[in-house]
Structure 1
């Protein structure tokens, strides 16, 4: 029987079917990945986010307000990775509209999808077309058009949205060059369309669609260029070097003045918020002027500056297996004297954890290259510590946006150093002062993390083409901040080749963190190469024990 209007039970069922659909399609979405490294994670992150949503929805009361609140809170606390954060914004936008209406019918669904699209756009600093953002917007437009044209019923409207969504997804390679080169569609957009499938199943009981077969030799895919990097990569960047982001406490009527000041300083300007709190983003060559514009109208805080020249086509999306997901998020705390500001770090590998603990980290969350902790895992770690001020070291690009949501979920003052790897996290700790405030530590630690040159070695899991030529499964890859730098037949050759790319005459120290797959002979070969080619550079070796990545490098 088809329902023309859904209540709380129907919305609850939709979330359950959406969870099941994402679990069913998880591996297909995970295999959409730009480089052939073991790190595809969009499907897993979306599926894990829905697991938390369904857990909360199942425990919620019978009313629509209770169900919608559970969707909003569950998606906030369960969001994993960039794709999970964006999905949580979509669900929160949907829930806000539906809660107000008290039911779902064609006009309400159209309004909810419009709000979801707006919330998704606000979730990223520099939205780009050809990602999940495009797909959600096109579906919302189709829903609005259906209402305007007097659609017969809710199921007919959903079917029209499905058709529009598939057409939008098919167009994503035309809008995003990375997808066209890979001959694939956007991973996050594919995941979102499963929501519409779940909605149809909840209404008339039709089966969920089976996942399509995936050709493991197809090579590259969409997770990095798509859902887990919805800002995209601009191949025609205009030369502005820095991305400046901060929150701004300012009266709403002064934001126009602030926007005008920024328009003279750069581009890619995004200022969203209201009620005295604004999230601000700009690309500019004038860091000081960008921040001073905020000071002129209010109080900027949680300031983040990124060198865009080092981030072009940077690849760091991650894969989460079911086993990793089960152990990811485990929190280990360390006893110590009371401190004003404590540090929580994310890491994987017993050796890496011990290094962090020796440098003053009070809580370590298991996670990283093979597992993304959720917002709730961070909150649990923060609330286990006595300190009223906390600095988070996510140590992975894909975990940074999850960490940035923690401050709103706890009474502690929480700041995030946007560390994108273990080497950056270690460098940041060199500037850590437990007696200073979280804001003071944020400034010093973020600067230290940005100054280190990082690299890592991993193994290709499939054949593909790359900017360096063909890559065969089993070859070793050297990755720097700018992406793929080296392809080699052995771990040690890839390591020395990458170091040759990273080191210059200004450097004095190379920190080597060996992983579970690095042999003693590999480490000795790296040490011998460094002694021969850079005899004046000091080398520190630590046994990290991390999986998948035999070497992490930090060059200072």
Structure 2
């Protein structure tokens, strides 16, 4: 019988991370089904899976960076830090954000040693770090389960013994959560985040012993939800998550401001990089607070769409999933009934995120609008993944947000699926698009050489105009597009675009092209300065 390991090595951590990903993938739907706190939106298992998927990817990159086999494996400190950093970058939802802080807390201790005593201290440090990251800790949640895991192995010992005691302590604490949190008791379930943490700790024991651990028993029935079951009680309508580069002092001010704006505030990280999670009614204000604190990016805004009203919705027949470059447009399309995913320049959503958005639509048939040429491959991969899960998906290769809006405008869910897809595809294809951007450096373009600071007018993805100011360049681009005809001009302006630009262009169209109508939308923060569509 092989001797039990006395220390965690790089391969053991790699095995743990991979095993946790497999286990969460297997149990994702079960964990989603019991998700009633803090919002009954049925995505805790999925969020934990995506968080660990990012951690696993970072661990594999650490092994790949070792390069030459002669250089040997990366050391334990490097791998555990990679795992924690990957989780921080990819954290999703309240549960994923807390898990990333738990891993970060463990990494801080395990980087200095990886025997049983260090693991016990790492679990204690992780529990403390996670509790400090939550603005208003609540008992009966993943925080309680993490503390119980640490307490069960306090004092240390052999590595396998410590890991096993932590797992058993977490399982026992999980079973007690319905008695600590009334929303769980009424629904007849244990805490979903705590359930996910038990899965992660079980994977650690399995990586050390080679033996699968007994899983917590699934609920005997579907969670029972009533109007008072949601802990938020008809709370905020949006979940906002973003990565933030900022100094510690700025983050403390940000915490205070976000705590006043919303609920379920969790801020994790350190050393200049943070992951911010909050539930708010004013998503724009939450993002603006991040801008004041530092540089927010990978911004994700999710509309809860009435999650607090009852059980996870039954699948509808058809839905539209659209990727949008700004929270204003995302809100607009959400009001029109679309499930939206926010994308910022340089931060496109992954295939996994697109596939999750398709699932979140809770529909048997889904029309996917990527609204970006660079997202075509990721969207195709997401569509294939969803089809493998039994969802009928049609991918309309929209190349810009204005094409997606045109497609959404003619969407009729009562039509036959194929007919609806044809009509939406035709509307998108009949919409020519342009974008205005500012050159960051000198470069050669299809319209000649541009200098840093020049305004670039791109038509159908190619630079067609190089100008010195936004208004003149926009008018030139618009005239070129309308020279080929058109009936409707759509203008989409970003939050930092001069407010008179759209009005100037509208007056120009009315004065020059008598039969052409214009409509203007506000994209909000993060979008290109100006998007133009001509139908």
Instruction: Compute the TM-score of the two structures, normalised by the length of structure 2.
Output: 0.48
Q: Find the structure with the greater CA-based Rg.
A: 2
- The TM-score, its normalising length taken from structure 1, stands at 0.46
Whose RCO is larger (CA < 8 A, sep 6+)?
Answer: 1
